[in-house]
A and B are shown apart, each in its own frame.
Chain A
Amino acid sequence: MVFNNWRIRRVGQAVFTVWAVLTLSFVLVRLMPGNPMGAMLVQLEQSGMNPVRARKLIELRLSMRPDQPIPVAYVQYLASTLQGDLGQSIASGEPVAQEIAQALPWTLFVMSWSLCITFVLGVVVGALMAYWEGGRLDVGLTSWAIMMGSIPYYVLAFLLLIFLSYRFGWFPTGGKYVAETDPGFNLPFILGVIHHAAMPVLSMIVASGVTSLGMRGNAIRVLGSDYLRVARLRGLSDLTISTQYVARNAILPMYTTLLISIGEMFGGSVVLEQVFQYKGLGYYLYRAVELRDYPRMMGGFMVITIAVVIALLIADMTYSMIDPRTGGTSNEAY
C-alpha cells in the first residue's frame, strides 16, 4: 500500500510540476516586452507595406486578442490545452500541435544519438580513467573533459562549424537535409539527413565530456569500498569485480544524470539549432520568441516541460529496479 501511495504521489507531483511550469511560462511570456502585433507590424513595415494597411492585416490575422487580461487568457488557454488544442501559430496560421509534431522528430533524432553516444562513451571512458587513475591517460582525458565541459556548447558549435564545415568542408554549413533530394525513404535523402545531423550531434557529445568525469568520480569512490576488498579476498576475477561490483555501482548515479541531461539537451537545442540552421523544435521555439508568437512559445515550452517531467518520473519509478537498496518506497532518485 505504501509502495502504491508513493507512486500515486509521485505522479501527482509530476502533474503539479507541469501545471506550475506552464503557468509560470504563460505569465512570463505575456510579460515580455512587445507583443505579437508589434512584432508583425515592424516586419510588415520593414517590407515596405503601408502602416495602416499592415495594422488592418494584422487585426484580421490575430484571432487570439493578445490584449486580453492575463487571467482570462490563462483560463482559456488551460481549457483549450486540456482538450488537446494548443492554438494556432500567429506567424504561420498553422495549428501549433502540428508544427511542433513536425519539428520534434528532427530534434529527437539528434538528441537520441547524442544521448546514446554520450552515455556509452562517458561510462567506458570514465571507467578507463578510474582504472588508470593518476596515469597519463587519466590525466590527459581528465584535462580534455574539463576543458570541453568549461566551454559553452554554442561556442563549441561555432568552432566546429568554422573548422569542419567552412574550413575543411567535411560537413554541411546548415539545414536538415540536402535541398536537391526528395524527402522520402530513399538513400540520398536519408544519408543527407544523417550528414546534416552529424554536426549538432558532435557538438552535444563534445560538450558532454563531463559525463566521463562523473563516471570516473563514481568509480573511484566505489574502488575504495570495503566490499571490493572482500571480493578480491574471495578470489573473484578482475573482470567480475570490475563489471559486477565497480561499474555496476558506479553507474547508479549516472542514471538520473542521464535523464536530467535530456532537459539540458532540449534547452541546448534552442541555440544549437540556430547555429546550424537545423529546423527542429529548438529553432521554432527561438523564432517564436523573436516574433512574440505566444501559442507557439507555449506549445514548445509545454512539450519540453512534459518531456523533462516524464524523464524524471521514469527515473524515480525505475530507480529501485537498478538499485534494490532503495526499495521503491518513498525514496527518490534525486
Chain B
Amino acid sequence: MGLFQSMVRIVVGIDVLLLLLLAFSFAFLEPGTGSYVVAVLTLVPVCITLLGGIATLKFDWDPF
C-alpha cells in the first residue's frame, strides 16, 4: 500500500464523519432554504471523494 492509498483512506475517514454530521442536518432541513443548499454543496464533494476513495481501495488502484 503506497502513499496514495494511505491518503485515500484518510480522506474516506473524514468523509464518513462529515456524512454523519450532514445526515443529522438533513433530517431537519427544508428543501429550498439556504441551509439546505449549503448542505448539498458540502455533500456533493464529500460523496464524490467517498465513492472515489472506496472504488480506489476496492480496485487497489495506485497511480504512483
Chain A contact residues, CB within 8 Å of chain B: 97-98, 101-106, 108-109, 112, 115, 119, 123, 176-177, 183-185, 189-190, 193, 239-240, 243-244, 247-248, 251-252, 254-255, 258-259, 262, 303, 307, 310-311, 314-315, 318, 321-322, 324
Contact in complex: B25, A244 (CB < 8 Å)? no
Contact in complex: B3, A248 (CB < 8 Å)? yes
The answer to whether A190 and B41 touch (CB under 8 A), given A255-B10, A314-B17, is: yes
Contact in complex: B37, A185 (CB < 8 Å)? yes
Whether B52 sits at the interface, judged by CB under 8 Å, is no
Contact in complex: B10, A322 (CB < 8 Å)? yes
Task: Give every chain B residue within 8 A of A106 (Cβ-Cβ).
Answer: 35, 38
- The smallest C-beta distance from B42 to any residue of chain A, in angstroms, reads 5
Given contacts A97-B28, A104-B25, 9 further A-B contacts (CB under 8 A): A101-B27, A102-B28, A108-B25, A119-B10, A123-B7, A248-B3, A251-B10, A310-B17, A322-B6
Task: Give every chain B residue within 8 A of A184 (Cβ-Cβ).
Answer: 32, 37
Task: Give every chain B residue within 8 A of A193 (Cβ-Cβ).
Answer: 34, 37-38, 41
- Sample 23 A-B pairs with CB under 8 A, ordered by A number: A97-B28, A102-B28, A104-B21, A105-B25, A105-B36, A105-B39, A108-B21, A108-B25, A112-B18, A183-B32, A183-B37, A185-B40, A243-B2, A243-B64, A244-B64, A255-B13, A259-B13, A303-B21, A310-B17, A314-B13, A314-B16, A315-B13, A318-B13
Bound CA–CA A112/B17 (angstroms): 10
* Main SS at interface, chain A: helix
* Main SS at interface, chain B: helix
Bound CA–CA A123/B3 (angstroms): 11
- The smallest C-beta distance from B61 to any residue of chain A, in angstroms, reads 14
Contact in complex: B17, A251 (CB < 8 Å)? no
